[in-house]
Structure 1
Amino acid sequence: MLDRNNQAGRTAILYRMVMPGHICPYGLKAKDLLRRSGYAVDDRHLTSRAETDAFKAKHDVPTTPQVFIDGVRVGGYDDLRRYLGKPVADPKATTYRPVVVLFALTALMAMAASHAVSGTPFTVRAAEWFIAFSMVALAMLKLQNVESFATMFLNYDLLARRWVPYSYIYPYAEGLAGILMVAGVLNGLSIPIALFIGTIGAVSVFKAVYIEKRALKCACVGGSSNVPLGFISLTENLMMIAMAVWMAAVSLGYAGGHTM
């Protein structure tokens, strides 16, 4: 059987745009993939728009780069990945990766900050910082395009459906509560905000997913994400509720943790 991932000695011809104002990124990725797969690359540059258009017309292709192997056109970068038996990402596929990556990084940030302050990453303060950092990071992602976030948020949030301005207020409120919690100031403001928006959010997600059985995308990491609305999506809201309850308990002396 032909091993397309180990083709030492074989040559692939690659046509890609290399112009003074533009170098095709997919051309660079195709060149790198071919070399890592053992191919010698005959790298042919299309150095002008006219040359590129003429090439596309000649081979009846809509885009470049284009790869040829053994005189046969393989196609563009995604086609090359398929030819070599490698996975091709579906831009419309849902994934929890953005949420998992965000929580992993904020957890590491919290432990790093705890180590810098206390000499150990495993402290109550690290747990508090993890939630607060996560809230700020999630708010930042939403605020990159608040209009897009608000549109997606309106698909399932119960309060936003009744009062549309809430869909714009939410990320600012989440970010403000998170920053106050990091600083450990104005608990009388941060606790009610986190408890309120966290509770409304948790109820909204539970209703949409588990009662109405709707297949929706979560606006938790911004309005352009492909994160499915579901159990993991509840995490953002449940963390805010837990943080608010914990901080309230510490403030009232019912818990022995560190008050940030």
Structure 2
Amino acid sequence: MSKTATLYRMVTDQHICPFGLKSKDLLEREGYSVDDHKLTTRQQTDDFKQQHNVETTPQTFIDDKRIGGYDDLREFFNKGPAQPEGTTYTPVIAIFLLALLIALALGLSTNQPVLSVVTIERFVALSMCLLAVQKLRDLYAFSNQFITYDLLSMKMVRYAYVYPFAEAYAGLGMLAGLNAWLVAPVSLFIGVVGAVSVFKAVYIDKRELKCACVGGNSNVPLGFISLTENLFMVGAAIWMWFSMG
């Protein structure tokens, strides 16, 4: 016996509700035939919400029973929340993993050994560049989060606006093979200040903070991962000087 669900979702010339599309997709993946009702004007949407005494759309009905919006539908199918609450390391893991894959791909494309010192150098440099992009996409939000734990930014707020550019410069300088004396001091400085700041905030002051390493308004907890980012930069600086010899 086929299963049928009725879905009301907003689809106008100016706006297509993403949660309506996700609700339709979820219902179809669960084996339901969807009676898809598109609310094509704001007036239709307002009338529907008033008629059913609801505040939002989309709304799904199964067996003449209102299930609710997209989050309610996920709960109905025991899928868990669409957007996990609380802190998560997912953004940082994604950046590090992508940086590693790019470094490996570059090695393959140039017929170099997949696992080599060059691959590690590229991985560190690419990680720095990708992390810098996350910060640069919203400098204002990044600075608001960064100055709550970075010791130098607490004294000199403008440093929070300089930091992402310095991180990007260090990463690009490593990739370009610039002279170590042009790149290493920058990498060492921001790495040491960052590492000391994170260590003090997390392990001495025992503060529970969100890390700005992937940009402002992130849910990445300040801690080991944040410390790793800074130690990467310190290690990169030392390695650049070591390689010169």
TM-score range for the pair, normalised by the shorter chain length: over 0.9
Paired residue for 1:258?
none
Counterpart check, 1:183 vs 2:192: no
Per the TM alignment, residue 20 of structure 1 is displaced from its structure 2 partner at its CA by 2.0
Residue 119 (structure 2) aligned to one of 121, 126, 129? 126
Per the TM alignment, residue 33 of structure 1 is displaced from its structure 2 partner at its CA by 0.3
Counterpart check, 1:114 vs 2:89: no
Counterpart check, 1:35 vs 2:28: yes
Paired residue for 2:207?
214
Paired residue for 1:192?
185
Per the TM alignment, residue 92 of structure 1 is displaced from its structure 2 partner at its CA by 4.6
Unaligned stretches of 5+ in structure 1? 1-7, 254-260
Equivalent-residue separation in structure 2 for 1:175 and 1:47 (angstroms)? 46
Residue 78 (structure 2) aligned to one of 40, 65, 85? 85
Equivalent-residue separation in structure 2 for 1:193 and 1:92 (angstroms)? 36
**Number of corresponding residues:** 245
Match of 1:22, SS state, is coil
Per the TM alignment, residue 201 of structure 1 is displaced from its structure 2 partner at its CA by 0.4
Per the TM alignment, residue 119 of structure 1 is displaced from its structure 2 partner at its CA by 3.3
Match of 1:40, SS state, is strand
Q: Where do 4+ consecutive residues of structure 1 move more than 6 Å?
A: none
Residue 60 (structure 2) aligned to one of 67, 90, 108? 67
Equivalent-residue separation in structure 1 for 2:19 and 2:134 (angstroms)? 26
Paired residue for 2:130?
137
Residue 151 (structure 1) aligned to one of 144, 153, 172? 144
Give yes or no for contact 2:129–2:167 (8 Å, CA) kept in 1: yes
Residues 76-123 of structure 1: CA distance to partner in whole angstroms, max 9, x if unpaired?
A: 000000001101044652100000000000001011112222433211
CA RMSD of aligned residues (A): 1.1
Equivalent-residue separation in structure 2 for 1:75 and 1:109 (angstroms)? 42
Equivalent-residue separation in structure 1 for 2:57 and 2:153 (angstroms)? 44
Equivalent-residue separation in structure 2 for 1:43 and 1:90 (angstroms)? 25
Per the TM alignment, residue 19 of structure 1 is displaced from its structure 2 partner at its CA by 1.5
Identity %: 55
Equivalent-residue separation in structure 2 for 1:43 and 1:188 (angstroms)? 64
Paired residue for 1:242?
235
Residues 110 and 154 of structure 1: is their aligned pair in 2 closer, same or farther, counting only changes over 3 Å? same
Paired residue for 2:217?
224
Match of 1:197, SS state, is helix
Residue 20 (structure 1) aligned to one of 13, 27, 36? 13
- TM-score of the superposition, structure 2-length normalised? 0.97
Match of 2:66, SS state, is strand
Equivalent-residue separation in structure 1 for 2:109 and 2:80 (angstroms)? 41
Match of 2:110, SS state, is helix
Per the TM alignment, residue 225 of structure 1 is displaced from its structure 2 partner at its CA by 1.2
Counterpart check, 1:99 vs 2:92: yes
Per the TM alignment, residue 21 of structure 1 is displaced from its structure 2 partner at its CA by 2.2
